[in-house]
C-alpha cells in the first residue's frame, strides 16, 4: 500500500533522529497508529503495542487522539451505522414523520410511493400483521432480503397519528468497523480508513 510505505518512511525518519522532543515522540506514535489502523492491526503483532497504548490512553481524562502530521491525519471519529440504502432516509425510532432532534438515527425509511423494489407480504398467524396492528413485508435490497415494517405517521398539519403518509422502515445496518480516520496519501489525495478497536 502506498500510504503504508509513505508512513513507514516517515516513522523511521522520526525514530532515527538523534534527539526526540516530546512533540516528535507524539508524532511518531500518531504515525504508528495511522499505519496500523490502515491495515489489519489485530493480525499484525508489531501493531499491538501502539494500539494497546491507544486503547488505554482513550480511557484517560483529557485524551487527544494521536495524529500523524506527515499524512495530515485527523482525529478518529465514530459512526456505528452504515449509510441507508439509496433513496432511504435515516431517522429516529419514531412513528412520527418529523422525528425529534437528538434521537439516535437507527432506522432507514422511505415513502411508500417512492419504493420501486418488489415487496412481498410476510406471512404469519395474523395475516402479515403484528400484534400492534403494523404490517411486515419482505423487501430485496442490494441482493439481500430484509424485513420491513409498514408505518403510517401523523403529519405536520396536526392530523392524528396513523392518518398521514405511509413509509417502509428497516433497521439501519451497523458497521463492523465503526471508527474512521481521514488522511492524505502519498499523492496528496484525501483518504478515509475504517477500523475497529476489538482486541484480538
Domain ranges of the chain: 2-80+176-195, 89-171
Mean pLDDT of the 141-162 span: 68
**pLDDT reported for residue 107:** 92
What is the end-to-end Cα distance of the chain in Å, rounded?
Answer: 23
Note the pLDDT of residue 28. Answer: 92
Between CA 96 and CA 156 the distance in angstroms is 9
Reported as a pLDDT band with limits 50, 70 and 90, residue 146 is confident
Pairwise pLDDT comparison (163 vs 112), residue with the higher score: 112
Q: What is the dihedral of CA 94, 100, 101, 105, to 10 degrees?
A: 10
Please tell me the predicted confidence (pLDDT) of residue 151. Answer: 79
Q: Is the dihedral of CA 15, 17, 20, 25 positive or negative?
A: negative
pTM comes to 0.67
pLDDT tops 70 at residue 47: yes
Can you list the positions of beta strands (E) in 62-189? 77-78, 89-91, 107-111, 119-121, 135-141, 144-152, 166-171, 179-184
* Residue 181: half-sphere exposure toward Cβ, Cα within 13 Å: 26
Lowest mean pLDDT of 90-94, 148-152, 175-179, 187-191, name the range: 90-94
> From CA 139, how far away is CA 18, in angstroms rounded?
63
Cβ burial, residue 17 (10 Å; 0-12/13-18/19+)? exposed
Residue 166 has pLDDT above 60, yes or no: yes
Q: How far apart are CA 197 and CA 36, in angstroms?
A: 11
Amino acid at each position: 500500500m502506498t500510504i503504508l510505505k509513505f508512513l513507514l518512511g516517515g516513522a523511521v525518519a522520526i525514530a532515527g533522529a538523534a534527539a526526540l522532543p516530546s512533540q516528535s515522540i507524539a508524532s511518531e506514535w500518531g504515525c504508528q497508529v495511522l499505519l496500523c489502523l490502515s491495515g489489519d492491526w489485530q493480525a499484525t503483532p508489531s501493531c499491538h503495542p501502539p494500539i494497546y497504548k491507544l486503547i488505554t490512553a482513550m480511557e484517560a481524562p483529557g485524551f487527544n487522539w494521536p495524529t500523524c502530521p506527515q499524512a495530515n491525519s485527523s482525529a478518529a471519529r465514530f459512526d456505528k451505522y452504515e449509510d441507508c440504502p439509496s433513496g432511504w432516509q435515516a431517522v429516529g425510532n419514531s412513528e412520527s414523520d418529523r422525528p425529534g432532534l437528538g434521537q439516535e438515527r437507527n432506522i432507514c425509511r422511505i415513502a411508500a410511493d417512492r419504493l420501486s423494489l418488489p415487496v412481498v407480504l410476510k406471512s404469519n398467524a395474523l395475516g402479515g400483521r403484528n400484534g400492534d396492528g403494523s404490517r411486515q413485508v419482505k423487501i430485496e435490497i442490494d441482493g439481500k432480503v430484509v424485513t420491513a415494517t409498514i408505518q403510517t405517521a401523523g403529519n405536520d398539519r396536526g392530523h392524528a397519528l396513523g392518518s398521514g403518509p405511509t413509509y417502509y422502515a428497516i433497521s439501519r445496518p451497523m458497521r463492523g468497523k465503526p471508527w474512521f480516520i481521514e488522511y492524505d496519501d502519498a499523492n496528496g489525495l484525501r483518504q478515509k480508513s475504517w477500523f475497529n478497536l476489538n482486541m484480538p
